[in-house]
């Protein structure tokens, strides 16, 4: 394998930005040779500390029409605000003992919202635990999503209704599911695309390798979206990967790869939209790495001050994506200060109401808790509508 590196464009410290993309090499350096480019464009420039330089600052690809339309920019912003309100309310619910341990995603809203906007309504999303709010963007009531964290079976939903596979807590186990679903739909004559979220920690799992390898061999219509927030619980990226950019691994699978600034919603939108279009048109899978920083804890039960310098997290908090995007939209004349205040208040109020609806949910009975665990429950379990051995055999 030969991997070249070429830089085109400006430094991330300026108001310009860069995007890292793997493209096929015209020089024929290897059968699956790719060149890693740094392509300059406009952006919001975050500037990554030297101690945690997983990517530069990134801009949207010039060819993304979605990222240029004011209406789509405003829709994207509102989705991000909705996610922020969801996450902050969920954290509050956990602190009050109204739900159990909860995996926060504060600061990763740009990645999740942009991905949902980039795919089509019929495309499916495959989620890990940190994307538990993504189905809410597709219509799932927030209180139903939160019920999952109370161990309430009402926290589950019909995947076909929302185009979202059930969230997987074990790392990377859902990536082969995405490949299987995508290949199956292609065999059925569909043109849908699967988008699979995963993190930098999951990228080290065997399931991730197997899924990306098989997807490339079968040219499956899958977009692998890696949220590289630099921390796999307490393990920094430098202790689990020898590459600066996880997207460089795409070359080993013979697929395109790109690294974007995960705090720049337009960068993520442009890269994911391009990968979705490529997959839908028969171009096979892509790996999109959205590089950011896990500003908060791994989950509400975690204390990150035990293993990292929280001053670094504070630095990144100043660069969180919603405030940056709002400033850009104001500069472009799409938003006024009052618009921002009202949208945040509306989203917070909606999530507060959802929390009250969660409180009004009845405590699940033993029958409800066990109804879908085993096909044939033992006699000692609470009576349920699950099939008996006789009906199961029929």
Catalytically active residues, by annotation: 294, 298, 307
Which residues have C-beta within 8 Å of that of residue 106, sequence separation ≥ 6?
A: 84, 87, 88, 91, 295, 296, 320
- The alpha carbon torsion through 99, 103, 108, 109 (nearest 10 deg) reads -20
DSSP output for 165-234: PPPB-STTTHHHHHHHHHHHHHHTT----EEEEEETTGGGSHHHHHHHHHHHHHT--EEEEEEE-SEETT
Distance, in Å, from the CA atom of 313 to the CA atom of 337, rounded to the nearest integer, reads 27
Tally the C-alpha atoms within 13 A of residue 287's C-alpha that lie toward its C-beta.
33
> Contact, 117 vs 75, CB < 8 A?
yes
Is residue 224 within 8 Å of 175, Cβ to Cβ?
Answer: yes
- 207: nearest Cα among 167, 239, 177, 234: 177
What CA–CA distance (Å, rounded) separates 179 from 134?
19
Buried b (16+ CB within 10 A) or exposed e, 86-111: bbebbbebbeeeebeebbbbbbbbbb
Q: What angle do CA 180, 184, 187 make, to 5 degrees?
A: 145
**Phi-psi label, residue 151: left if phi above 0, alpha if psi -120 to 50, beta otherwise:** left
The total of other beta-carbon atoms located within 10 Å of residue 7's CB is 14
* DSSP for residue 53: -
Give the C-alpha separation, 394 to 390, whole Å: 6
Closest Cα to residue 293, out of 269, 271, 318? 318
């Amino acid at each position: 394998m030969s991997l070249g590196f070429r830089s085109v464009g400006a430094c991330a410290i300026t108001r310009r930005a860069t995007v890292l993309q793997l493209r096929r090499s015209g020089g024929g350096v290897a059968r699956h040779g790719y060149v890693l480019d740094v392509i300059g464009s406009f952006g919001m420039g975050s500037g990554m500390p030297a101690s945690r330089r997983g990517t530069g600052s990134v801009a949207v690809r010039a060819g993304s029409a979605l990222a240029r339309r004011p209406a789509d920019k405003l829709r994207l912003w509102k989705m991000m605000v909705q996610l922020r309100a969801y996450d902050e309310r969920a954290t509050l619910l956990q602190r009050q003992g109204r739900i159990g341990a909860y995996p926060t995603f504060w600061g990763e809203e740009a990645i999740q919202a942009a991905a949902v906007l980039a795919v089509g309504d019929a495309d499916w999303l495959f989620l890990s635990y940190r994307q538990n709010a993504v189905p809410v963007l597709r219509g799932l009531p927030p209180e139903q999503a939160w019920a999952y964290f109370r161990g309430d079976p009402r926290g589950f939903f019909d995947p076909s209704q929302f185009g979202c596979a059930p969230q997987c807590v074990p790392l990377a186990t859902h990536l082969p599911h995405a490949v299987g679903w995508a290949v199956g739909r292609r065999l059925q004559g569909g043109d849908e695309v699967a988008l699979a979220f995963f993190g930098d920690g999951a990228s080290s799992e065997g399931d991730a390798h197997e899924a990306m390898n098989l997807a490339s061999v079968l040219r499956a219509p899958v977009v692998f979206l890696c949220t590289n927030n630099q921390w796999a619980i307490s393990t920094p990226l430098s202790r689990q990967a020898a590459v600066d950019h996880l997207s460089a691994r795409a070359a080993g699978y013979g697929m395109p790869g790109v690294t974007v600034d995960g705090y720049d919603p337009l960068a993520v939108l442009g890269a994911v939209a391009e990968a979705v279009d490529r997959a839908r048109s028969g171009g096979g899978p892509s790996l999109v790495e959205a590089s950011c920083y896990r500003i908060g804890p791994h989950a509400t039960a975690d204390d990150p001050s035990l293993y990292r310098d929280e001053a670094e997290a504070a630095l990144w908090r100043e660069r969180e994506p919603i405030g940056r995007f709002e400033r850009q939209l104001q500069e472009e004349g799409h938003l006024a200060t009052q618009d921002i205040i009202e949208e945040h208040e509306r989203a917070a109020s909606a999530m507060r109401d959802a929390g009250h609806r969660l409180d009004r949910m009845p405590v699940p009975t033993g029958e409800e808790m066990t109804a879908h665990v085993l096909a044939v429950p033992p006699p000692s379990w609470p009576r349920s509508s699950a099939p008996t051995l006789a009906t199961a055999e029929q």
